[in-house]
Amino acid sequence: MPIHQTTSYVFEDSDAAAAYFNLQEYGNTYSRIMNPTVAAFEERVANLEGGAGAVAFASGLAAQSAALFTLLQPGDHVVASSALYGGTVTQFKHLLRKLSVELDFVDINQPSAWQGAIKNNTKLFFGETIGNPSGSVMDIQAIADIAHAAKIPLMVDNTFATPYLCRPLDWGADIVVHSATKFLGGHGTSLGGVVVESGEFDWSNGRFPIIEAPSPAYHGLKFHETFGTFGFLMKLRCETLRDLGACMSPFNAFLLAQGIETLPLRMRAHVSNALAVAEFLQTHTQVSGVHYAGLSASPYQTLVQKYLPKGAGAVFCFDLVGGREAGIQLIEQLSLFSHLANVGDAKSLVIHPATTTHRQLSDTELNAAGISAGTIRVSIGIEDAQDLIADLAYGLAAIT
C-alpha cells in the first residue's frame, strides 16, 4: 500500500478538473478532501463494518464532530447514552450547546428511556457498543428499532468492539464511528477516526432538510436525491470534511491500515487475555468488584451472547478495597502495564482515574460518574496472560 504523501493532484485536462469539482466524476482534487492512501484505509474499514463507504478524519473526536455537523442544525435535539467516553461527553455537552443543539443523556440499560426522550426535533441517537469505561453493552437492535420507528438514525461508537467482535450496522445502526487510534490501529502510534454509514437510512424522510434540500454550500446540490445510497457520505466528505478540515494524514492512514491487517489475531488475544485477567482479579481479596461484561456473573451476559459472542472487548474497570491510596500503590508497583491515558494498544495499559483523568472530582462526584476512588481501568494487551496476572498479583500484594 503506497503512501501518497501529496497535497494535490495534477489534472488530466480542464474538463476532467471541472468534472471532479462538480462531483460528476470520482477524482482526486486536494488531500484535505480525499487521498488514495486514506481512501484505501477508508474502504477497508467500510468493508469490515459492512457499510456503503467511510470517511476518515484526524481523530475519533474529529470523526464524531463531522458526523454531528453533517446531520444537525441549530434547534435540533440529540439523545445519547449516559455511559460514554468522557471526551465524548464533553464534546456533546459543550460543542452541541454552542451550536444551539439540545441534548439529553439516557440510561443505556433501559431502551424505554430512549423512547421517552424523543421530541419532535430529535435527529440522532448515540451510544457506544461497549461503554468506556463502564463496560456497559448496548442493546443495539432494540434501540435502533425505537429510533427507526421515529425516523431517527442511530449512531454507534464501535471503538471498543471493532468490527471483529461486533458489526453494529448488521443490528440496525445507521452510522458507525471509530477512534481508529485504539484497536483498529492497535499500536498506540497514530491518531485517527472514521465514520461509516450503511447507505440504508432514508435521509429524505422529511426530518433531515439539511441533507435532503438543495445545499447552499454546494451550488444547490441535493445530496440524497443525487447520490442515493452515497448521499450522506458525499455530503460528509465534500462539505463537512472540506469545511472542518480535520483530515487524516496519509502516513497515519498507512500505519492504521497496517494495524488492521492483524486485527483478528490481536482481538482474539485481547479478549482471551481480558477474560483470564478479569477472572483472576475477581477472586483476589484486595479487589471488591470487576466490571467486565465477559464474566459469567456480569449483568450484561445476555447482551454479550447476542452482540459480542467472540468476546466482550479488552477494556474494563475494577475496584480496590483500599480506595485511593491502594490505587496509587498498585500503579507504582506494576511493571508490565504502561501507565498512560490510552486504550487499545497491543501492550497492556493501566490508569487510575481518581488521580488522573478524573482528578478534579470529589469522591461523591466520582461515584456519580460510576467510578470510585479505588477504581482502576485496564486495557488488556496481547502479552502472555500469565505474565499479566503475575504482574498484577505482585502489585496487589504490595498494597499496604
Ligand X SMILES: Cc1ncc(COP(=O)(O)O)c(C=O)c1O
Q: Given candidates 87, 264, 323, 370, which one binds ligand X under the rule CB under 6 A?
A: 87
- How many angstroms separate the CA atoms of 14 and 10, rounded? 11
> What is the smallest separation between the CB atom of 93 and ligand X, expressed in angstroms?
15
- Site membership for ligand X, residue 185 (CB under 6 A): no
Q: Tell me, what DSSP letter sits at residue 250? A: H
Q: Tell me, what DSSP letter sits at residue 240? A: I
Secondary structure of residue 351 in the 3-state scheme: strand
Query: Of 181 and 298, which CB lies nearer to ligand X in the complex structure?
Result: 181
**What is the total residue count of the chain?**
400
- Contact region for ligand X (CB under 6 A) — 46-54, 80-88, 209-217, 329-337? 80-88
DSSP codes joined into one string, 173-217: -SEEEEETTTTTT-SS----EEEEE-S-S-TTSSS-HHHHSPBGG
Q: Which strands sit side by side in the sheet containing 287-291, from one edge to the other? A: 287-291, 315-320, 375-379, 349-351, 338-339
- Site membership for ligand X, residue 190 (CB under 6 A): no
Partner from ligand X, another protein, none contacting 47, C-beta within 5 to 8 A by type: another protein
Partner from ligand X, another protein, none contacting 46, C-beta within 5 to 8 A by type: another protein
- Site membership for ligand X, residue 239 (CB under 6 A): no
> What is the smallest separation between the CB atom of 132 and ligand X, expressed in angstroms?
4
Number of continuous H segments (helices) and E segments (strands) in the chain: 18, 12
Question: CA of 209: how far to CAs of 11, 76, 136, 244, in Å?
Answer: 34, 12, 34, 20
- How many angstroms separate the CA atoms of 111 and 7, rounded? 46
> What is the smallest separation between the CB atom of 357 and another protein, expressed in angstroms?
32
- Site membership for ligand X, residue 378 (CB under 6 A): no
> What is the smallest separation between the CB atom of 81 and ligand X, expressed in angstroms?
11
- Site membership for ligand X, residue 61 (CB under 6 A): yes
Residue nearest ligand X by beta-carbon distance = 60
Q: CA dihedral defined by 347, 348, 352, 358, rounded to 10 degrees?
A: 50
> What is the smallest separation between the CB atom of 26 and another protein, expressed in angstroms?
4
Partner from ligand X, another protein, none contacting 132, C-beta within 5 to 8 A by type: ligand X
> What is the smallest separation between the CB atom of 17 and another protein, expressed in angstroms?
13
Q: CB-side exposure of 293: number of CA atoms within 13 Å? A: 29
> What is the smallest separation between the CB atom of 11 and ligand X, expressed in angstroms?
33
- How many angstroms separate the CA atoms of 7 and 367, rounded? 48
Q: Given candidates 37, 82, 181, 298, which one binds ligand X under the rule CB under 6 A?
A: 181
Query: Of 110 and 226, which CB lies nearer to another protein in the complex structure?
Result: 226
- Site membership for ligand X, residue 157 (CB under 6 A): yes
Q: Which residues bind ligand X (CB under 6 A)?
A: 59-61, 85, 87-88, 128, 132, 157, 159-160, 179, 181, 191, 193, 343
